[in-house]
Amino acid sequence: MREIRFIPTPDGWLAAALEQLTDRRRPSEILWTETTAEQPALPGLFSDEEHEAGRGRELSRSSRAVSVPENFRRLLPVVAYHRDRSKWALLYSIFWRLTTTEPRLLAIEVDREVARLLTMQRQVERDVYHMKAYVRFKKITVESEEHYVAWHQPDHPVLPLAISFFKERFAALRWSILTPDASAHWDGKTVSFGPGVSQREAPSDDALETAWRTYYAATFNPARINPTAMRAQLPGRFWKSLPESRLITPLTQAVRGRVGEVIDSRRPMAVLPMTGSLSELAQAAASCTGCELHLAATQTVFGRGPSDARVMLVGEQPGDQEDLAGEPFVGPAGEVLNRALALAAIDRSQLYVTNAVKHFRFVLEGRRRRHQAPRPSDIVSCRPWLEAELKAVRPEVVVCLGRTAAQSLIGGQLSVEQQRGRFFSSPFSSRIMLTYHPSSILRARDRVIQDRLFDLLVQDLKAAQSAI
């Protein structure tokens, strides 16, 4: 085995590797040892075979003998900054295989060595991204001049790879970036590198950090707090170098109480009656203010039908005419539904018909009230009323007319086109069917599509009736 000493930079290693390839030295025959430009060449570990290489070595003989593949040239400057020193042996093994018997090796990502090399590449690139995203500068004064200093602890010694970003972004400032491995200093014209610096040697807080923490606390939104997502996007090991990190814990602890206040403020002022009869439910729902929809709607539109109905139809929300009449499905969509029920030989008077949302959500366009789909919060606010209706009626089959009703009772991402006509089970009912909402038939772009959707609605209503 031969020990190869080299300066641990992409150029330093490539100089040594090219010479070994020229001499046809196999990967198993080499021990790679890092040295520095200041460190004198020392005898090898194996006295009978010693070798050394450096950045200044003449490459003319090696370059003529071996061609470096372009895809390998792109990988080397990244992987060379991985902290795992076994990278050099791995790089040479890949280099050897590329230039001897496997020129397309890097395209085979399932190869064990290639997979490991690509993993190293991704780890280094992600670390460079972290440095760009999480470095925070502190302003200090050096000889009456402003200087900005940041301390950062990367997983890998990637400072040289990130420097060009900071040179372009903060070209007008004098700054230094300190890491445990090395430091970089920009004077407005050139970058110089120095030794690593521990965090305790870095500057302490400055006025900018105080102002930033004040701003961060003032704009902190408790409704968007998600500790798991925060840790995924802002790894915990970087928190100690961020000025706002000291505020995260106390602000997070305050979220529970603030969110509780919001929830309390949105509770329906109308309490569900203990007996749960349909008449009492309808009377209580008439004064519900659990969401802001009651502010613009004319009235609550509760369900209608017998308390012993074997089939319940659940729509989305009342429309303009339903809002005025106080009854579900009495407008154009109701006419389509009535026609479909007649063709399915179903007596509507034997059904319980209701909506997932009890108030009309709309936007004014001149004097016309244009329907708007209910928001998830509207569906959640109205769900207690729908659950109470289900408990009072106890239907054998529930037919969800449209996706909103299905989301309220089944949940998840549902497609009416793909899942219509099927029976689902949920805590609310053991047999729930999804089909088209009559209004979606009215909105179809041509008569052919309208007829097809209408036929499917009739077919599904027949299937629901047959299931009881």
What does pLDDT average to over the chain?
Answer: 84
**SS3 state at 277:** coil
pLDDT at 454 over 80: yes
pLDDT of residue 263: 46
Residue 35 in this model has a pLDDT that exceeds 60: yes
Q: What is the pLDDT of residues 279-294, one digit of tens each?
A: 999 999 998 888 889 8
Of 351, 275, 314, give the one whose Cα is nearest residue 438.
314
Length of the chain: 468
**What mean pLDDT do residues 349-353 have?**
96
Domains of the chain by start residue, with CATH: 2-129 (no CATH), 135-201 (no CATH), 217-265 (no CATH), 278-466 (3.40.470.10)
CA atoms of 293 and 314, how far apart (whole Å): 19
| Statement: residue 140 has pLDDT above 90 | no
Structure tokens at 270: 């109308």
Cα of first residue to Cα of last residue in the chain, in angstroms, is 82
Instruction: Return the pLDDT at 70.
Output: 92
Q: Is the pLDDT of residue 238 over 80?
A: no
- The residue type found at 363 is V
C-alpha 153/C-alpha 279 separation (Å) is: 67
CA distance 386 to 302: 9
Please compute Rg for the chain using Cα positions: 35
pLDDT range class, residue 414, cuts 50, 70, 90 = confident
**pLDDT for 113-124, tens place per residue?**
999 999 999 999
pTM confidence score: 0.47
Answer yes or no: is pLDDT of 59 > 50.
no
Residue 178 pLDDT exceeds 50? yes
| Cβ-based neighbours of 15, under 8 Å, separated by 6 or more | 6, 53, 54, 55, 57, 59, 62
- 286 vs 299: CA distance, rounded Å: 7
List pLDDT tens digits, range 379-401: 988 999 999 999 999 999 999 99
Q: How far apart are CA 115 and CA 452, in angstroms?
A: 52
